[in-house]
Structure 1
Amino acid sequence: MAGSPESGGAIDSAVESDNKTLNFKVSLDFKKEFKGFAGSQGITMTELLKEGFALSKKKRQK
């Protein structure tokens, strides 16, 4: 958990304070599938979004 002693405490809190909200709408079915897949992989939805974005950029820059 961010900001907890196990995760580095103040270091994670400082990094989190730099984060900004990204707002867009998706269908309820997509949200459920996205959240479920992230959970089944043991990662957050944010981590899954960042990974997907990195893969998409890599694919499109060829």
Structure 2
Amino acid sequence: MADSAKFASVMENFRRVFHEPYYRDYIGDDIDARLSAAGFEGITAETHFMTRVWSARKPIAEAS
């Protein structure tokens, strides 16, 4: 949510209005860090109004 400060109150109210109990955790989660920890590379994110879209690549594992 840090990247969308102007929508903070709307995002906070969304979980109340639509009974989304996990939404607060989601909006506070660091998705970039989670993708990186899972091995993704080239992580980019774009915001389009109130939608955040991530794009990343997962390298192909080398055969052993």
Which has the larger strand fraction?
2
TM-score (ref. length: structure 1): 0.28
TM-score (ref. length: structure 2): 0.28
Which has the larger helix fraction?
1
